[in-house]
């Protein structure tokens, strides 16, 4: 009954096997390994983007921060949802890497930026004004931090507004696989065809040890990205071990298979909660994350029975009046089982 995060899961066994297979002989370092050539080709294939630049890094935060820094100047505003990961969970990495860009927070229900709010934020100022931070870029998260999933059409609506101001668009896809499985959209439809310029394509939360790809659809900025990655200390010397993980992830659509399990378990959990009398869903459960409300007393019971999950936001403490309603954040992963879910539901 472990639902604390998809990052507390192990890696998929095939990933470890892939590392073992890659661990023979001498190979070019710093990305010059032939496995990376395969990965690059495979990613381009998956995204139907034969020109895309593809890079591997070890954390989602850095995939995001380097993407932002490559496309947004220090005096730029990054428009993102008020609860975007880049705003709330990265200790200011975007500000650090961009050299001090400003995150402008856009509200919207269920973790999705409201297009009208984005439009309003972009509409002013009416003229170039040196006193203001300039419009820089837009960053969208899919799956959102609240577990909802944008459709390609919803993404395109936001990127269309960005395009009116010639702004580039970043997609934080730490849970991109879950969004693809949930929406049934193709990777191309969810990204460049919907107006996305650069994607953080997550692997770590979905069965890898620690690899994220950055996919830059317009390769003009690729060399700058490489310099920023190196300068950030993020160019791995024994790069083959990142490549091997990503190759395994993409082989036989493993990435989608793992996400499918996570999403199915998320759905099962949500369904059980919705049917319960003591609990209520807080947001729609589109993928593998469930937010739900129930009284503190039940939290206490569940956690003492071994359920592991966060009380949202900020890991609120269990002390306090029994009847006060607190929100649970429950995350399923590739390794969550029906048994886990059902045992948990029984506790409620």
Residues of this chain, 155-214, that bind a second copy according to CB under 8 A: 204-205, 209-210
29 touching a second copy, by CB under 8 A = yes
Smallest CA-to-CA distance from 255 within 171, 340, 173 is with: 173
- Which one of 228, 247, 260, 296 is in contact with a second copy (CB under 8 A)? 228
Asked if residue 250 lies in contact with residue 18, where contact means CB atoms within 8 angstroms, the answer is: no
* CA angle 18–24–29, rounded 5-degree value: 90
Does 317 engage in binding with a second copy (CB under 8 A)? Answer: yes
Q: Which residues inside 78-107 make contact with a second copy, applying CB under 8 A?
A: 88-93, 95-103
Q: Which part of the chain contacts a second copy (CB under 8 A), choosing from 46-54, 69-77, 265-273, 295-303?
A: 69-77
Q: Is the Cβ of residue 8 or residue 278 nearer to a second copy in the bound state?
A: 8
**Binding positions for a second copy, 103-162, rule CB under 8 A:** 103, 124-134
Question: Does 68 interact with a second copy (rule: CB under 8 A)?
Answer: no
Among 175, 168, 174, 157, smallest CA distance to 260 is for 175
The answer to whether 222 contacts a second copy (rule: CB under 8 A) is no
Q: Is 338 in the site for a second copy (CB under 8 A)?
A: no
Our finding on whether 27 is near a second copy (CB under 8 A) is yes
- How far is residue 137's CA from residue 114's CA, in Å, rounded to a whole number? 16
Cβ 157 to a second copy, closest distance in Å? 25
Residue 35 host element (H or E): helix 34-46
The C-alpha atoms of residue 10 and residue 56 are separated, in whole angstroms, by 20
Taking the complex as a whole, how short is the minimal distance between the CB of residue 234 and a second copy, in angstroms? Answer: 7
Only one of the segments 21-29, 154-162, 192-200, 279-287 lies at the binding site for a second copy (rule: CB under 8 A); that segment is 21-29
Q: How far apart are CA 117 and CA 115, in angstroms?
A: 5
Q: CA 91 to CA 95: how far, in whole Å? A: 9
- Nearer to a second copy by Cβ, of 148 and 204: the residue is 204
Q: How many CB atoms lie within 10 A of CB 264?
A: 16
| Tokens encoding 158 | 């936001």
How many residues sit in the footprint of a second copy (CB under 8 A)? 84
């Amino acid at each position: 009954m472990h639902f604390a995060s998809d990052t507390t899961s192990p890696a998929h066994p095939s990933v470890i096997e892939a590392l073992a297979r890659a661990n023979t002989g001498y190979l070019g370092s710093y990305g010059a390994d032939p496995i990376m050539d395969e990965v690059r080709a495979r990613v381009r294939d998956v995204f139907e983007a034969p020109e895309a630049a593809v890079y591997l890094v070890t954390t989602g935060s850095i995939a995001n921060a380097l993407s932002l820094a490559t496309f947004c100047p220090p005096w730029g505003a990054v428009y993102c949802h008020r609860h975007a990961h880049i705003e709330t969970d990265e200790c200011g990495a975007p500000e650090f890497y961009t050299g001090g860009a400003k995150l402008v927070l856009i509200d919207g229900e269920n973790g999705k930026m409201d297009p009208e709010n984005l439009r309003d934020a972009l509409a002013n100022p009416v003229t170039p004004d040196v006193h203001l931070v300039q419009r820089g870029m837009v960053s969208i998260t899919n799956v959102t931090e609240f577990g909802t999933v944008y459709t390609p059409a919803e993404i395109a609506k936001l990127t269309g507004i960005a395009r009116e101001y010639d702004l580039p668009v970043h997609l934080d896809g730490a849970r991109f696989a879950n969004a693809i499985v949930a929406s049934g959209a193709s990777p191309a439809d969810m990204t460049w065809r919907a107006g996305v310029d650069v994607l953080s394509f997550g692997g770590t939360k979905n069965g890898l040890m620690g690899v994220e790809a950055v996919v830059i659809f317009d390769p003009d900025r690729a060399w700058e990205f490489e310099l920023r990655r190196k300068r950030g200390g993020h160019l791995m010397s024994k790069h083959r071990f990142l490549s091997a993980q990503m190759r395994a992830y993409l082989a036989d659509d493993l990435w989608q298979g793992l996400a499918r399990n996570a999403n199915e378990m998320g759905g099962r959990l949500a369904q059980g909660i919705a049917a319960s009398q003591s609990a209520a869903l807080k947001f729609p459960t589109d993928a593998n994350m469930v937010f739900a409300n129930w009284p503190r007393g039940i939290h206490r019971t569940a956690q003492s029975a071994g359920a592991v999950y966060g009380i949202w936001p900020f890991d609120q403490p269990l002390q306090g009046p029994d009847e006060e309603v607190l929100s649970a954040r429950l995350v399923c992963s590739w390794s969550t089982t029906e048994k886990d879910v059902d045992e948990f539901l029984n506790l409620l």
